[in-house]
Amino acid sequence: AQSVAQPEDQVNVAEGNPLTVKCTYSVSGNPYLFWYVQYPNRGLQFLLKYITGDNLVKGSYGFEAEFNKSQTSFHLKKPSALVSDSALYFCAVTRRETGRRALTFGSGTRLQVQP
Amino acid sequence: NAGVTQTPKFRVLKTGQSMTLLCAQDMNHEYMYWYRQDPGMGLRLIHYSVGEGTTAKGEVPDGYNVSRLKKQNFLLGLESAAPSQTSVYFCASSYRGQTAEQFFGPGTRLTVL
């Protein structure tokens, strides 16, 4: 079985400050990890992914995430938050070994950036 | 290039009624997926398809059926709707399976009374 935990329902940050959205995962074997963002009344949009290689992954809109195998974490970060970053963020995982094609999503974290 | 489109955007059903949700993609993707999104639960996979003519069960398949007769279309059917199927339904597609990003449609908000 595979699972994703996003421990914070909501994260509040002031514009210009760094932001972190936390994600931990549980999977047998090696993971593929993803971050998606959802704006109000829209479908999810891909931000970034970790497949293999460098643990620090850079993605769209200035976001990055660090894969930490020992802590089974894949936290999303941005050095300087924008009001337009306010949205719902989902972490997702799948497992490499069995060819399982399905992503398991976390419950989501709402990011609120105050001006 | 429309990406992934879903029809309809909103629907209200009575318990026991049936309906079909249509998903279409114009990116020539092999893989297509149907998810449901419920508050506080993220997205859960209902069914998916790895190519034309193929379908497979996801995490929560009960009460739903799917068909992939054409590569660009993926239909989700509810034969006898129940209030527990009130949700927002998202279709997605991807070029490959595990490592490829998924492209999502705008969603269908379904209410079953």
Which residues does chain B have within 8 Å of residue A99's beta carbon, measured at their own beta carbons?
97-98
Residue A101: per-residue pLDDT: 62
Contact B92 A45 (CB under 8 A): no
Q: A4 φ, ψ to 5°?
A: -135, 135
Interface with A, mutate which of B46, B99, B103 (most A CBs under 10 A): B99
**Given pLDDT bands bounded at 50, 70 and 90, which one contains residue B99?**
confident
**Given pLDDT bands bounded at 50, 70 and 90, which one contains residue A97?**
low
Taking the CA of residue B81 and the nearest CA in chain A, the distance in Å comes to 23
Residue A85: per-residue pLDDT: 96
Residue A92: per-residue pLDDT: 95
- Is B7 a residue whose pLDDT tops 80? yes
**Given pLDDT bands bounded at 50, 70 and 90, which one contains residue A94?**
confident
- Is A18 a residue whose pLDDT tops 90? yes
Count the helix, strand and coil residues of chain B and give each as a percent rounded to the nearest 5.
5, 50, 50
- Segment B48-62 shows an average pLDDT of 93
Structure tokens, B112: 């079953």
Residue A99: per-residue pLDDT: 54
**Mean per-residue pLDDT of chain B:** 94
Higher per-residue pLDDT: A96 or B69? B69
Distance CA B28, CA B26 (A): 6
Residue A29: per-residue pLDDT: 83
Which residues does chain B have within 8 Å of residue A109's beta carbon, measured at their own beta carbons?
none
* Residue A97: Cβ-neighbour burial (10 angstroms; 0-12, 13-18, 19+): exposed
